Each structure stands twice: as C-alpha cells, then as structure tokens.
Structure 1
Amino acid sequence: EVAFYEDGEPIIDGESGDLRFRIRTAPHDRFKREGNDLHATITITLVQALVGFEKTIKHLDDHLVDISSKGITKPKEVKKFKGEGMPLHFSNKKGDLYVTFEVLFPTSLTEDQKTKIKAILELRSNYILTGHVKQEEITDKTNHEEFGLLHSPWKEIIHYWFKYILPYMA
C-alpha cells in the first residue's frame, strides 16, 4: 500500500484526506517475485547439464541476462545472479535473480544406448580409480582441461557421446 498524505479529497470545510493505493503484482510467465528478488525456472537438456551451455534470458525490461554454464549443472540447481532482481524502493540497489535449472531427461533409451552410456560412465570411473585424477578435483573444478580430461579416455568419451548417444536422445 502506498499512501499520499493529505492528497485525497478534502472533508467538507476541513482538511484533505489521505490518498491510498494498494498495488498487486500480476503473475508473469517466466518470473516470480519474492520481495525484490526474482525467481525463474529454466529447462535445459541432459547434454547441456553435463557439458555446459550458453544461454541468455530476456529480463522484464528486455535486457539480456547471461545464464550460461561451463560446468555440470545438477537438476534443481539454483544459481544466483546478483543485482538482476527488482529495484529497491528509494535506492539504486536491486534484488537478485535466482534461476532454478530443470534437466530434461530422455523418455526412453534403447538397449544399445544404455550399454554405451554404461561403458562411458564405467570408463570415467576406472580412470578416476587409477589415480590419474582425484575425484574431488573433478567435482570441484570446472576447467577439466587443467587435469587432462580432454585427452585419453575423455576424448573418446566425448566422441562416443556426440556420435552415438546424442543423436538418438529425444
């Protein structure tokens, strides 16, 4: 509610009353408002969740917000974009934008696809277990090139993924 004191209709032979407005926020297709923060849910593919993606979303004032990711994005993961929310009243500051990522999984896989995915994931596990790379380094770092993961079996894993699995995912 916003009040404008003494800007309302005057009482007969008296002072002006207060003018009050009650403001309701209309629902939006993409954004939900909580105070000065905005929340949005974005759907990405399983491949995008695993290898990263480049994506922008159009904000309420039509400027683009880069929500790209270079690493793995987990289902229901929430990323905060500072200062991309609604303006704070009587301030230059803004709230934040929180984006929740939904991951679109394939609805079915052939037996051949299942076998290949299993082989890829087992190859990854075996590579980690041999001591070439510590598990924590893989999960905590987003720059996998630093650990040589785009060479030896990783190069093959990526090749298999794009050649044999990705084309068949619906």
Structure 2
Amino acid sequence: MADHYEVLGVSRDATTDEIKKAYRRLARQLHPDVNPGADASERFKLVTHAYDVLSDPDQRARYDMVGDQPFGGAGGTGGFGGFSDIFETFFGAAGGGGRGGRPRSRRERGQDALVRVTLELGDVVFGAHREIEVDTAVLCETCSGSCCQPGTTPVTCDICHGTGHVQRQVRSLLGNVVTTQPCNICQGYGTTIPYPCATCQGQGRVRARRTVSLDIPAGVETGLRLQLPGSGEVGPAGGPNGDLYIEVTVSPHEIFSRDGDDLLATLEVSMPDAILGTTTTIESLDGSVELELRPGVQAGDVLTIKGRGITPLRGTQRGDLRVGVHVVTPTRLDHRDRALIEEFAKRTRAPGPRLAEFHQGLFAKLRDRFRNG
C-alpha cells in the first residue's frame, strides 16, 4: 500500500495547509478533465484518498499510529497500548467494517413552517377564510429541482463509482481491515454536479413568498394549531414539502367573552327597568336579538339566548349567549327624586342591609354549574 505522505509529496510533520496545497497542486495536474490518461486517473484516485485521510485530524492520527506496520506507528510507540483505539477505529467509528449501503439521496423532505394568525371573536363563531403570505422555500423554476443547469445532468462520481462510499484497507493487529466511509468528493451522493443551477446555486429550491388559502373552522381558540399537510417548505433537490402549521390567537372583544361554546355579556339595566321590567333589543355577533326583562329582575341574574353562541370545533350545534344583569344604581338625585325614593322605601318597608351568601362575581354560579354538570 502506497504511503499517503509519499503520494502527496509531503513530510510526515507537514502542516494541514501544506497538505492542502500539495493536494490542490496534484489535483490540478491529474484531474480527468485536464489529464484524461489512465495512469493520471489512477494517481488522482490515490492522491484524493491520501488527502481524505491526512486532512482529517482523527484519521491522520490513526494512520500515523498504525502505518504500514502491524504493531505501531511512525512515532515508534509500538506495543499494545493503542489496541482499544485500533479496535474502535475498525469496528466502532467505521460503522460496521465493510458495509457499503446506498448513496444518499439529494431529495429530502422540506422543513415544517409555522405561521401565526390573529382572529376576531366573530371569526371564531362562524369560521373564516384567510389568504396567508408565507416566506418559504419553493421549487426552483429554472432547474425544476434537478440542481443542474438546464441541459446538464449529475455525473457519476469517479472516486466511489456511484456508491457514495469509499473503502479503505489498513493493516492492524487483526490483519487487513477494510473500512467504509462516505465519499468526501461527492459527500455520499454517488454523483457530482459539474454545472450547478445558477438560480438556486445547486439546491433545487429558492426562497420566495407564496400565498396559502386557509379555511379556519369555527370553534378555534388561542393556542390551537391547525396543520396543513404538504404546505410547508419544499425539500432540497425538489424533495417533498413539509407541513404548514397555523397557530391561532383570538383578540379580546369589547362586549363578549367566551366560556366554552357559550358567549357571555353584561347588560346594564336601570333601577326603574329592573323594578318594572322591560323589553330591549341587543346586538349579538350575528344580528339583533330581542330580550325580555321580567319585573323585579335581580343583579346577577343570567338571561339565556339559545343558539347564539359558538359552533364547536367538532360539532354543529351552537352554544348559547348568556347575558348577566347589572342593575345600575343612580348616584345623583335631585330633591324630588330623593323624596320619591324615600316614600317608596317607607311604603315597601324594605329590610336594611345585612350579610348574605358570598358572591364571587357575575358568572360565578354559571361557571360552577358547568363544572358540576
């Protein structure tokens, strides 16, 4: 077996830069495109193989240790001190000795993409359609994912002959051992691209903005992610697209809030209307609704309007609109109004203030009912 240092024409204490310069000089002389002779082709393979070993610090250290002698390297350490390193080299890091495997495919699946969308509460009630701009990787129109300039094709690697791997034989304590590693020339693909596409730089894809049509179903909520399979980035060399995920955020509404599939709202009622009762019209998210207040309605009472809530994400029957009553007590009275209220208090003989059951809030009883029901 030819000595790698002699093949490159460098000394054993040559630096990494000296090894690289020697390889470039020889590669320019011996490359098949420049020197088509059979002898030059064989020498080019030897030079490339020698450079692959000596340019990698770990491989160079192992080569120096083993060399062409069965029990030691050029440093003369000898003995059995390096046996574990040798064993690991041939049976661990080499990945199973002489196994070759198939060359890598340039076509890979693209990455998934995430886009955040902000919705109004009305979009949650009825669902919505959106046209979303996505900055992502798309197929290169010049090469259609081939990675090559139009009119050219990938060329079989003349080092690994299309296998994507190279075999290296080294003498060791165990005899001649053949290891298999990815080819450094073609990066394990088995082919090289002499003329990469100028548009995508040989990637088969480019960055661009594209529009994605999205139908958002009713019933979504903040934090929910919708998945669009195959709408993410196109893969290298025109590989299959990844997925697109849409993360939803629902903006707060001035009037309505959400409780499961129900909508909650507060209705301010004057004291006379609360006492005498009345009929009023309120604006829900999908039109006007007539609401009747019975005489003597109390603060905290909840009026239910069926079917004016949210359509569930996996269902068809809408929730309800629940309106909590808030009685507004007047804070400014003239003498006549005050006299009327005092007269009313005397006639009704209303009891004075007293402690009562603790009230947690306008919708406390309603939410407790949901938890227990």
Q: Do these two structures clear the TM 0.5 threshold for a shared fold by scoring above it?
A: yes
User: CA RMSD for the aligned pairs?
Assistant: 2.2
Of residues 322, 333, 343 in structure 2, which corresponds to 1:116?
343
Residue identity over aligned pairs, in percent, reads 28
- What does 1:129-148 correspond to in 2, within 5 Å? none
The alpha carbon displacement at 1:90 in A equals 4.5
Q: CA deviation at 1:114?
A: 4.0
Q: Larger helix proportion, structure 1 or 2?
A: 1
SS of the equivalent of 1:9 reads: coil
Deviation at 1:15, TM superposition (A): 2.2
Q: Take 1:80 and 1:106, find their aligned partners in 2: how far apart are those partners?
A: 26
**Superposed CA offset, 1:66-93 (max 9, x none):** 2212332111222222211012224321
2:264 to 22, 39, 59: 39
Structure 1 residues 6-39: Cα deviation after superposition (integer angstroms, max 9, x where no partner): 2222222432111111111112121112332211
User: What letter matches 1:26 in structure 2?
Assistant: S
Matching residue of 1:64: 288
Aligned to 1:30: 255
Q: In the alignment, what sits opposite 1:97?
A: 321
The amino acid that maps onto 2:251 is A
Tell me the distance in 1 between the aligned counterparts of 2:254 and 2:318: 21
The structure having more radius of gyration, on CA atoms, is 2
Q: Which residue of 2 aligns with 1:74?
A: 298
Tell me how many residue pairs correspond in the alignment. 123
Higher RCO by CA contacts (8 Å cutoff, separation 6 or greater): 1
The answer to whether 1:18 aligns with 2:243 is: yes
Counterpart CA distance in 2 for 1:29 and 1:51 is 29
Gaps of 5+ in 2: 1-224, 352-373
Cα separation, partners in 2 of 1:35 and 1:22, compared to 1, 3 Å: farther
**Normalized against structure 1, the TM-score is what?**
0.63
> Which residue of the other structure, out of 269, 273, 276, is the alignment partner of 1:51?
276
- Ranges of 4+ aligned residues in structure 1 off by more than 6 Å: none
**Equivalent of 1:4 in 214, 224, 228:** 228
In structure 1, distance between residues paired with 2:261 and 2:235: 37
Q: Report the TM-score, using the length of structure 2 for normalisation.
A: 0.31
List alignment gaps of at least 5 residues for structure 1: 126-170
SS at structure 1 position matched to 2:248: coil
**For the residues of structure 2 that align with 1:15 and 1:42, how far apart are their CA atoms?**
54
Structure with the higher strand share, 1 or 2: 2
Cα deviation per residue 1:94-147 (whole Å; 9 max; x = unaligned)?
Answer: 11111111101121555523431123313x99xxxxxxxxxxxxxxxxxxxxxx
